[in-house]
Amino acid sequence: MTETMTAAPEAVEEVDLVELMNKRAQGYGMLARLFREEVDMATLRELQGMRFPQATGNATVDEGYHQLFDYLKRAWDDSVTELAIDYVSTFIGHGVNGYSAAYPYESVYTSERRLLMQEARAEVLATLRENELKRGDWNEAEDHIALELEFMQRMALRCAEALADNAEDEAIAYVRTSYDFLENHLINWVPMLVTDMRLHARTLFYQGLGQLTLGTIQEDEAVLRELLDSVAEEPAAA
Amino acid sequence: MALPATGSPRESTLEVLAFDDEFDPLAVDDLEIDQEWMDDDNPYDTVDFPTLRNMPETVHHEPVYSPERQGSATEALRALITRNPNRRPVLLNIVGLCEGGCASSVISEKVDEWQRDNRSVYAPMTFCRMLERAGALTLEMPVTTEEQEVAEEGITYLEIKETVDPIWHATEEALALREEYRAGTQFRRVVLEAEEFRYAEVYEAIMSALADGGRSVKDVEEMVKEFPICQSPRRFGQHFIDVLEDTDCAAWGGTAWNLTDLGAKMLAELQAQKEA
């Protein structure tokens, strides 16, 4: 059976798929970096050099971009410390009751007692192994949002590479893997994480990061679904 | 351990461990937590544990060094630099740099340079905030920031044209205290006008050696050994280095101790007083 990725729906028509995949990878890479650790001066300067689209067509993404822009345009040297404090306050918190922060682990949001290292982590670990990836020397559970976003980035990069090599079947497989991962993991718990981020983040930066992440995965789900819908089965004879 | 009256032990264990199939994580509302759902036997399983976020203002700490606490900006700054002796040169240098105003980016650059051989966990702006709380600096924030819209392929983007670089200003009290330190008041108080002056010849030898070029602690120790006055009570080279460092007369240069400009001035004063 041979499948061909065509540009049937209007939204993806005449889109350079390699470029689209590379842009997706860039977006996921940036989000993964911002969740992985505190913003340092180099990252702050890089973010301030970015361009922020005013109207993307997705209200959540727009709100995220506006909040980030509003924070970054007033950011200066001291903001690195302010963001480091807010990172701890948002993702680590002070309490032990399980409700003191927006814990960036899928297990917390998908287990009954909000515990780490639950079924979600085992599933993500299995997915990483299936795709010949491993955590490396970063000592966090595999279901940390930064790792999940980085997985999406890796899949997008692999897809772009496959498309550039005209390996369409391979590219379609990567799109399927990305879509399944998005459906089974990120879409499943990130909305709850972002709700908690709104409660715990004190800066517009982390408020905006939450909104941007939520909007990005919602938008990406739609894009991947359209791409998969466009995959048409060619007649066996052909 | 007593077993349940009905069912095998295996079944009851499975029952205990089984997850609720009906559980829907999306349906959980964190804002409406049912206390009865919590485990009474687990002291940590409670939503009443106070978090710092929700603590009343009265629980928050006041700044340790502030004009309100120490009585004046001068005293607050004096207390700050006395309690942070290793950071004294940097703190006073920042005050000097901010005479007439200095941009944050310049301060950051300079502080990194000053601390090249004596690193600190504090970020440059954290020093400025400490000095601000002590009444030694004031911050001038720009009112607006430049931004511009650019359009490309039908999409409008916002860009930050120029980043914010606030200006720090030193207060009169801070500048006056810095002058006091720069004038060698500390060295005079600790060495020239105190019991320590009995070691004048040792200080003179060490300071002259440092002025000729950097010296290691070992070199200073060897030098001190030669003075009979240092034998009883025993005085080691490190004692003299500590005094010179505390009075801003010597500074660590990465590989050796060196005499500072203030140290050279104080050496001349020491020699004059010794001869008098």
Domain that residue A8 falls in: 3-47+59-233
Q: Token digits for B27?
A: 């349906």
Residue A178's pLDDT band (boundaries 50, 70, 90)? very high
Contact A112 B160 (CB under 8 A): no
Select the more confidently predicted residue: A97 or A119.
A119
pLDDT for position B52:
45
Contact A89 B20 (CB under 8 A): no
Q: Residue A99: which CATH number?
A: 1.10.3480.10
pLDDT for position B237:
95
- Over chain A, what is the mean pLDDT? 90
The fraction of chain B above a pLDDT of 70, given in percent, is 77
Residue A157's pLDDT band (boundaries 50, 70, 90)? very high
Cβ-based interface (< 8 Å): residues of B facing A:
19-20, 23, 25-26, 28, 30, 33, 44-53, 104-105, 108, 123-126, 128-129, 145, 147, 149-150, 155-160, 163-166
Residues linked to residue B107 through DSSP beta bridges, in sequence order: none
The answer to whether A4 touches A231, Cβ cutoff 8 Å, is yes
Residue A159 is assigned to a structural domain of this protein: yes
The answer to whether A1 touches A221, Cβ cutoff 8 Å, is no
Q: What does the buried/exposed string (b/e) look like for A47-66 if buried means 16 or more CB atoms within 10 Å of the residue's CB?
A: bbeebbeeebebebbbbbbb
Residue A41 is assigned to a structural domain of this protein: yes
Select the more confidently predicted residue: B41 or A93.
A93
Contact B124 A77 (CB under 8 A): yes
Residue A52 is assigned to a structural domain of this protein: no
Average pLDDT, stretch A78-91? 95
**Which of A45, A48, A110 lies at the smallest CB-CB distance from B25?**
A110
Chosen for mutation from A15, A19, A51 (greatest number of chain B CBs closer than 10 Å) is A51
Average pLDDT, stretch A192-202? 94
pLDDT for position B37:
55
Q: Containing H/E element for B159?
A: strand B155-160
**Which of A76, A99, A192 lies at the smallest CB-CB distance from B164?**
A76
Give the helix ranges, DSSP H, for B30-159: 67-70, 73-83, 88-97, 104-114, 124-133
Q: 170-199 in A: which are within 8 Å (CB) of B?
A: 188-189, 191-192, 195-196, 199
Residue A1's pLDDT band (boundaries 50, 70, 90)? very low
Contact B108 A54 (CB under 8 A): no
Residues linked to residue A5 through DSSP beta bridges, in sequence order: A231
**Which of B33, B49, B159 lies at the smallest CB-CB distance from A95?**
B49
pLDDT for position B62:
82
Residue A10's pLDDT band (boundaries 50, 70, 90)? very low
Report the domain count for chain A. 1
Residue A226 is assigned to a structural domain of this protein: yes
Select the more confidently predicted residue: B28 or A24.
A24
Contact B160 A48 (CB under 8 A): yes
> Cβ contacts (< 8 Å) between B19 and chain A: which residues?
112
The answer to whether A196 touches A100, Cβ cutoff 8 Å, is no
The answer to whether B166 touches B108, Cβ cutoff 8 Å, is no
**Which of B25, B33, B163 lies at the smallest CB-CB distance from A48?**
B163
pLDDT < 70: residue spans in chain B: 1-60, 144-146
Residue A154 has pLDDT above 90, yes or no: yes
Contact B147 A73 (CB under 8 A): yes
Residue A238 is assigned to a structural domain of this protein: no
The verdict on whether omega for the bond into residue A191 sits within 30 degrees of 0, i.e. cis, is no
Spell out the residues 6+ positions from residue A96 whose beta carbon is closer than 8 angstroms to its own. B44, B49
> Cβ contacts (< 8 Å) between B127 and chain A: which residues?
none
**Number of inter-chain CB pairs under 8 A, A vs B:** 92
Residue A195 has pLDDT above 80, yes or no: yes
Residue A53 is assigned to a structural domain of this protein: no
